[in-house]
Amino acid sequence: MYGIHDEFPQLPGLRYLNHAAVAPWPQRAVLAVKRFAEQNAQVGARDYAEWLTMEYSLRERLTRLLNAPGSDDIALVKSTSEALSFVAFGLDWHAGDQVVISNEEFPSNRVVWEALKPQGVEV
């Protein structure tokens, strides 16, 4: 049986609990990145079309999982902060608009909203 300790094989006595910023990767992610790096080291971008097929497949699966209208509505981005930047700077803000966030927001996610202050947006 495949269990949580197989997926996250940390050192004895070490456990991460819901730490989204910098935390151990699941074993399946480690193996996928390792396979990709080895393939890239051997053949470079020769299989780029295959990578795009995999990306398309992932976007299709996420469309179904999230019940999104279509795969064009799914964006694969590097981080939560990058995604928030797309939202924050993609909206038409006006002086006096307000954004409400927690006073315990992760710093890189808070900075995105604070960057709107020159436009008169209150955070």
Alpha carbons 116 and 113: distance in angstroms, whole number: 6
CA dihedral 112→104→18→38, nearest 10 degrees, is 20
Instruction: Give the model confidence (pLDDT) of 1-58 as tens digits.
Output: 567 778 888 888 887 777 666 788 889 999 999 999 999 999 999 999 999 999 999 9
Higher pLDDT pick, 9 / 99: 99
- b/e 8-32 (16+ beta carbons within 10 angstroms → b): eeeeeeeeeeeeeeeeeeeeeeeee
pTM above 0.75, yes or no: no
